[in-house]
Amino acid sequence: MLLLTIWPIFGLICLGFALARTGIPGTGFWPMAERINYVLLFPALLVVNLAGAPLGDPSILRLGGATLATITLASAVFALAAWPVRPAAARFGPALQGIVRFNTYLGLAIVASVLGDGALGAAAVLLAVAVPLVNVLSVMALSYDGHSRGIVALLRSIVTNPLIVGCAVGIAISLAGTGLPWGMDSFLGFLGQASLPLGLLCVGAALRPRALGREIRVLAGISVLRLLAMPLLAFGMALIFGLGADEAAILVIFAAIPTASTAYVLTQQMGGDGRLMAGIVTAQTLAALFTIPFVLGLLGIG
């Protein structure tokens, strides 16, 4: 039953892959589609869902704490494990991103499919904590060997991130209790509705199957940590923080999904190993078709 719920999501990813490989609607479309989704459509979705989220609910606040603990603990353990090897930032950065980052479009789509649209508000709270955290960790991991961009540049990249801005605006509106005025909720809602299907198509277009031929053992190891170990850690944190059933399911879902395709762009921009990052994104996205139903079914979610 769970597979029937989520297969259309992966169907959109496969459709995006097929369209990109056949040249439809053109090679220039996909970078522009990713850009408009990143700077406009997806932030609009975050604003709408966070503006209506019950941020005063203790269970919602516990979800944010559990999210922070899960990502921070996973990052710390992996960094300590890698310390004796002293990997270059160009490779450590992609590896860490492969473990702690997540494909937001896929996560929200699965949450909506499994738990219903009403759970998107709680999911947006998770994103308000996780998005800035994983971006900071990713930049630090790609520059930790001394080639730092500087604290000012790091802070600028954080505060100007469209997703972080969208989260901040939505949280401010929710705390003010004013709601979105003058029909803005409908306007932003229409924009947000386009975000998930377009984002999933872009995920498929970004897949690089040829990258799977390199470093199979590394890709397999990182994928196991991301797709199997992370959801188990998240489930443990849900128990420790006393999360309700829906909040626990949201935390586990976002821990069980593959890493973000945008991690490849960041890796390239910061001089990291783009081939390794492309391989991680592709391997995890393909493997997730099987691991997500397994993990969610094992933990009784869905």
Q: CATH number for the domain including 21?
A: 1.20.1530.20
Question: Please, how many CA atoms are within 13 Å of residue 275, restricted to the half-sphere of its CB?
Answer: 8
Q: How confident is the model at residue 251 (pLDDT cuts 50, 70, 90)?
A: very high
> Which single residue is written with the structure tokens 């589609």?
33
Q: Convert the pLDDT of each residue in 57-97 to its tens digit.
A: 777 789 999 999 999 999 999 999 988 888 888 899 999 99
Closest CA to 10 of 207, 264, 285, 301: 285
Query: Is the separation of the CB atoms in 112 and 119 below 8 Å?
Result: yes
**DSSP classification of residue 31:** H
Cα–Cα distance, 15 to 73 (Å, whole number) = 36
Cα 282 to chain centroid, rounded = 14
The DSSP output letter for 299 is T
Note the Cα 55 to chain centre separation in Å: 21
Structural domain of 208: 2-298
Tens-place pLDDT, residues 257-283: 999 877 876 777 677 888 788 889 888
Q: How many domains, the chain? A: 1
Residue with token string 């391989």: 279
The amino acid at residue 104 is T
Element (H, E) at 155: helix 151-159
Q: Is the pLDDT of residue 126 over 80?
A: yes
Predicted pLDDT of residue 153: 65
Tally of helices (H runs) and strands (E runs) in the chain: 15, 0
Chain centroid to CA 34:
14
Given a contact cutoff of 8 angstroms between Cβ atoms, the answer to whether 71 and 130 are in contact is: yes
Indicate whether 130 pLDDT > 70. yes
Q: Does residue 227 surpass a pLDDT of 50?
A: yes
Closest C-alpha to 241, from 77, 73, 99: 73
Q: 191-206 pLDDT, tens per residue?
A: 988 888 888 888 788 7
* pTM of the full structure: 0.81
pLDDT at site 197 = 87
pLDDT band at 144 (very low <50, low <70, confident <90, very high): low
